[in-house]
Amino acid sequence: MGVPATTPSQTVGPFYALPDGILWDDGPELVPADRDGAFVLHGVLRDGNGDPVPDGVIEIWQADEQGRFDHPDDPRPDSSGWQGFGRCPTDTEGRFWFRTVKPGALPTPGGETEAPHIDVTVLARGMLNRVVTRVYFPGEAANDADPVLAAVPAERRDTLLGVTDEQGLRFDVRLQGDGETVFFAV
Amino acid sequence: MTVHETRSDSGLILPEYLPDEGSHPPLDSPGYRSSALRHPKQPLQYLPQNLTEVTGPLLGQDRCGEQDHDLTAQHDGEPLGERIIVSGKVLDSAGKPIPNTLVEIWQANSSGRYLHQGDRHPAPLDPNFSGTGRCMTDAEGNYRFITIKPGAYPWRNHDNAWRPAHIHFSLFGQAFTQRLITQMYFPGDPLFYQDPIFNSVRDEKARERMISRFDLDSTVPEWALSFKWDIVLRGPQATVFEDEEEEDDD
Ligand SMILES: [Fe+3]
């Protein structure tokens, strides 16, 4: 039996931000401000010249504080009602933000432990497919044993680490050039 | 099979989504000028499909209003243009329909103009058309929108550049690995040959998978033409466990 081949990706283009379209009002807010441990994850999306990308969309996907997902393919007891998804357009200065909590560490099928991390999708005009990266937390002891970080060349690992600042956690994304963010093939 | 047996030693067994790089356009596509400074130059790093990657947002019905699938019914009057029905199935590359998954669309109006402050095309806006829609697939993976055929529009990529008529689609599937943003085109569009976005997909067969099919059977006589378009997301590799499940279902 023949199996269908997948549909190709195309750019999100410049006009995704139509009223009542894919950008919801609560898009960047995974948790209310008064949730224990709530913090702001924020950053700037930049292109190969280091210029801000004003027409990008950032999406994040992550576990809850206990490292759980509300999803049938997570075979562990679920975390009902945890949405774990956020979406934020970049503004005229390339900035994006989310309000979230730090996810728990995760077991892997191979018996290892992944340090707390947030999966990130970057979309923009000029990008024919999404790119994917991860945010890790600075100073986290579990980072040393994380199998994904370990596979990244040491000199580029910093691009995956958030930086604590007065607003919360800063995570800048550089699509190309000096300090290019590490992107993953999913 | 060996892989999955090894995996079960840790007590955690996850689906594994098949790669599909061959379908997608390269991020570096010189014909599409804006891609020049927006594609990574370093090689992509390996990311195993662990819990974060095989799960994904299951955005539900609460994201869809009752009229969200009907872009011709969102205002007091009817939009101008050719009324069309766009429908099809969302399935995975194993051929399995994806039920209850959110499908989002956005598009230009019939004159090729978006309701977006950045759109400078001197074509009229339509007070009765916003150009956004969403719906959930049903239990068999079917989605259905009622809209108007979008117009072609000019852009500044190259001299006298025009985008073929298209509808933007956003799909989530059931896993982070399945996320897809794409565009649906219309059959026989004379603008295909000069469009670097459509042609960024190198494989001709893959390009054809972005083109909807006119379907007379599902037109509504004296009301709307109909275009069919199935969307295929990455599917999980078949495993022993899934085969057993299928037998249980029978
Ligand atoms: Fe468009």
Q: What is the pLDDT of residue A163?
A: 98
Q: Give the model confidence (pLDDT) of A5-49 as tens digits.
A: 999 999 999 999 998 889 988 899 999 999 999 999 999 999 999
CB contact under 8 A, A185 and B210: no
Sign of CA dihedral A105, A106, A107, A108: negative
CB contact under 8 A, A70 and B58: yes
Q: What is the pLDDT of residue A78?
A: 73
Q: Which residues on adjacent β-strands are paired with residue A164?
A: A169
Band (pLDDT 50/70/90 cuts) for residue A81 is confident
Q: Give the model confidence (pLDDT) of B117-157 as tens digits.
A: 999 999 999 999 999 999 999 999 999 999 999 999 999 99
Pick from B176, B168, B187, B189: which is nearest to B231 by CA?
A: B168
Using CA atoms, how far apart are residues B1 and B18, in angstroms rounded to an integer?
Answer: 15
Exposed/middle/buried for residue A165 (C-beta within 10 Å: 0-12, 13-18, 19+)? exposed
pLDDT of B199 above 70:
yes
Token duo for residue B54: 């095989």
Using CA atoms, how far apart are residues B13 and B15, in angstroms rounded to an integer?
Answer: 7
The reported pTM is 0.94
Q: Are A172 and A44 in contact (CB under 8 A)?
A: yes
Using CB atoms, pick whichever of B91, B106, B209 lies closest to residue A15.
Answer: B106
Q: What is the average pLDDT score of chain B? A: 92
Using CA atoms, how far apart are residues A146 and B161, in angstroms rounded to an integer?
Answer: 47
Residues of A in contact with B233 (CB under 8 A): 6-7
Q: What is the pLDDT of residue B239?
A: 60
pLDDT of B3 above 70:
no
Using CB atoms, pick whichever of B12, B20, B32 lies closest to residue A6.
Answer: B20
Backbone phi, then psi, for B8, in 5-degree steps? -65, -15
Residues of B in contact with A83 (CB under 8 A): 57, 59
Compare B184 and B4 and report the one with higher pLDDT. B184
Band (pLDDT 50/70/90 cuts) for residue B9 is low
Q: Give the model confidence (pLDDT) of A106-129 as tens digits.
A: 999 999 999 999 999 999 999 999
Exposed/middle/buried for residue A23 (C-beta within 10 Å: 0-12, 13-18, 19+)? middle
Q: What is the average pLDDT score of chain A? A: 95
Q: What is the pLDDT of residue A25?
A: 85
Exposed/middle/buried for residue A54 (C-beta within 10 Å: 0-12, 13-18, 19+)? middle
Q: Quick one: CA torsion of B72, A9, B201, B105, rounded to 10 degrees? A: 0
CB contact under 8 A, A18 and B26: no
- Collapsing DSSP to helix, strand or coil, B244 comes out as helix
Residues of B in contact with A78 (CB under 8 A): none
Q: Is B50 left (phi over 0), alpha (psi -120 to 50) or beta?
A: beta
Using CA atoms, how far apart are residues A167 and B60, in angstroms rounded to an integer?
Answer: 32
Band (pLDDT 50/70/90 cuts) for residue B67 is confident
Using CA atoms, how far apart are residues A75 and A83, in angstroms rounded to an integer?
Answer: 17
Pick from A93, A92, A17: which is nearest to B170 by CA?
A: A17
How is residue A149 annotated by DSSP?
H
Q: What is the pLDDT of residue A2?
A: 63
- What is the secondary structure of A57-80 as a DSSP string? EEEEE---TTS--SSTT--SPP-T
pLDDT of B250 above 60:
no
Residues sharing a CB contact under 8 Å with residue A95, sequence separation 6 or more, in sequence order: A42, A43, A44, A45, A52
Q: Give the model confidence (pLDDT) of B178-197 as tens digits.
A: 999 999 999 999 999 999 99
Question: What residues have a C-beta under 5 A from ligand 1, the ion?
Answer: A 13
B85 in contact with chain A, both atoms CB, cutoff 8 A? no
Query: Is B166 annotated as catalytic?
Result: yes
Residues sharing a CB contact under 8 Å with residue A127, sequence separation 6 or more, in sequence order: A11, A12, A175, B27, B35, B38, B39
Distance B178 CA to ligand 1 centre (A): 22
pLDDT of A140 above 60:
yes
User: What are the structural domain ranges in chain A?
Assistant: 39-174
CATH number for the domain whose boundaries are A39-174: 2.60.130.10
User: How many helices (DSSP H) and strands (DSSP E) are in chain A?
Assistant: 1, 12
Q: Are B109 and B141 in contact (CB under 8 A)?
A: no
Q: What is the pLDDT of residue B101?
A: 97
| ipTM given for this complex | 0.96
- Positions of E strands within chain B: 45-46, 83-92, 102-107, 132-136, 142-148, 153-155, 161-163, 166-171, 180-185, 213-214, 225-228, 231-233
Using CA atoms, how far apart are residues A85 and A29, in angstroms rounded to an integer?
Answer: 9
Using CA atoms, how far apart are residues B25 and A10, in angstroms rounded to an integer?
Answer: 8
Q: What is the pLDDT of residue B249?
A: 43
